[in-house]
Amino acid sequence: MDHRTIELRTAFKQSFGSDAQVAVRAPGRVNLIGEHTDYNDGFCLPMAIERDVLIAYRSRSDTTVRVLSLQQKNLEIFDVGPSEGNRIHKSSQVSARWADYIKGCAQVLREEGLKLHGVDMALTGDVPLGSGLSSSAALEVATMLALLGANGLTFSAEKIAKLAQRAENTYVGTQCGILDQLSSACAVHGQAMLMDCRTLALTPAPLPKGISVVIADTGKRRGLVDSAYNERRAQCEAGARALGVSHLRDVSMAGLWQARQAGKLDAVALKRCEHVVAENGRTVAAFACLTSGNAEAFGQLMDQSHADLRDKFEVSCRELDDMVAISRALPGCLGSRMTGAGFGGCTVSLVKDEHTSAFASSLASAYKKLHDLPMAVYLTCAAAGAGPVVLG
C-alpha cells in the first residue's frame, strides 16, 4: 500500500465518518504519436502512464453525492435523483470546476436510464493538471468506475470510455475525441497500443528494448475549453465536408491537393488537413516500427510529427518548441515531440536507457535557463488500464 492510498483512506474516514468500501484507479496517458487524429476517425499510438487518479468510495442509501478532492482541498455535494429539467447543475464557482467532470459522468449515466444511488467519494491524483497527460480523462474514467460500482453495476471498458468522452463533450464542453478515455480505460501493462478511432480496435505493441519514454512538462498551462482546441476540430470537420467525406481518415494527400486546385480548400484549411492525413500515415508507420523493433525510425517519425503540429496544425508554443529542440540535441535522444492537444503541457521523447539519467538532468537545466516555469521530467513505464485498488 503506497502513501497515497493510506492518505486517501484516512481522509475518507475523517470526512465521512466511516471506512470506504473499495477504491478504483484510472491512469493518465502519453500519446507517443497520432495527435489530433482521434476526432478525425484516425489512428493514435498511446500508452498509459504510471500516474493516475485514485477514488475511494462508499455507497449511500439516498441520492446525495459527496466528493472530497484531496488535491483541491474542496468538498462538492450534489444530488443524482430526479430533478427539474433532469439535469445536474454545473459548479458555480471556478474553484469547484473540477467537480464538473464528476457531475458530467453522473449526468450521462442518468441519460442512459440508470437510477443512481448516492455515494461518498474521496479522490486524489498525481497526473499533472493541464499537462496534456489526460488528467481529466483519468478523473472521468475513475468516476465512472466508482459510480457504477456504488450502484452494483459493471460496464465494459470500451463503454466506460465512450460514456466518459460523452461527459466531457456534452457536459464539460470540450469536444475531445476518444483517445484519452479509451487509453485510460483499456491500456495494457507494458504495451503501447495502436488505436483505430473509427472501430475502437486496439492492437498492443511492445516498446523497444533498451529505450525509455521520458515525459517533460514545460510548466505552461492551457485550458482546453478556452483554447483553440475546439476551433481546430471545427476546422477539420469543415475540411472533411468540403472534401465530401465524413472524416479526414478517408482522405489521401493526393486528394487534398486535387481539392486545393479545385478551390475547395483555402490555405489554412489545407494545412490543417495535411497534418491529419500525414499524421495518420506516420502513426501506422510508427506501429510497424515498434513491431520490428526499429526505435530509430520511430524517433524520426516523432520529429516529423512535431514539425507538422507546429507549422501546419499550429498548436505548439515557444515552450514546447524549446523543450523539443533541447531534447533532440542531447545524447541518446532518438526523437521528441509535443504530446496532447498542445498550446502548452508536455513533450515526449524516446531515449536510450544508458543516457536517461543524464538526459533528464541536462534537459531540466537547459530549459530552466530559458523559461522561469515549474517544469518537471518524468520517466514512465507503460501502465495497465483502469481497475480496482486494494485499500488494505
Q: What is the pLDDT of residues 20-35, one digit of tens each?
A: 989 999 999 999 999 9
Contacts made by residues 221-224, CB under 8 angstroms, sequence distance 24+: 221/129, 221/130, 221/131, 221/344, 221/345, 222/130, 222/341, 222/342, 222/343, 222/344, 222/345, 223/130, 224/136, 224/174, 224/176, 224/341
pLDDT of residue 225: 46
pLDDT of residue 392: 67
Catalytic sites, residue numbers: 180
Sequence spans of domains, the chain: 3-199+383-389
Per-residue pLDDT at 224 exceeds 60: no
Phi/psi region, residue 231 (left: phi>0; alpha: psi -120 to 50; beta: rest), is alpha
**Digit-coded pLDDT (tens) for 297-319:** 999 999 999 999 999 999 999 99
Q: Which one of 3.30.230.10, 3.20.20.150, 3.30.1490.100, 1.20.1300.10 gives the CATH number of domain 3-199+383-389?
A: 3.30.230.10
Per-residue pLDDT at 172 exceeds 70: yes
| DSSP-assigned beta bridge partners for residue 173 | none
Using alpha carbons, list the distances in angstroms from residue 221 to 154, 158, 225: 35, 29, 12
Residue identified by cell 468506475 is: 145
pLDDT of residue 18: 94
**Digit-coded pLDDT (tens) for 251-287:** 999 999 888 888 899 899 999 999 999 999 999 999 9
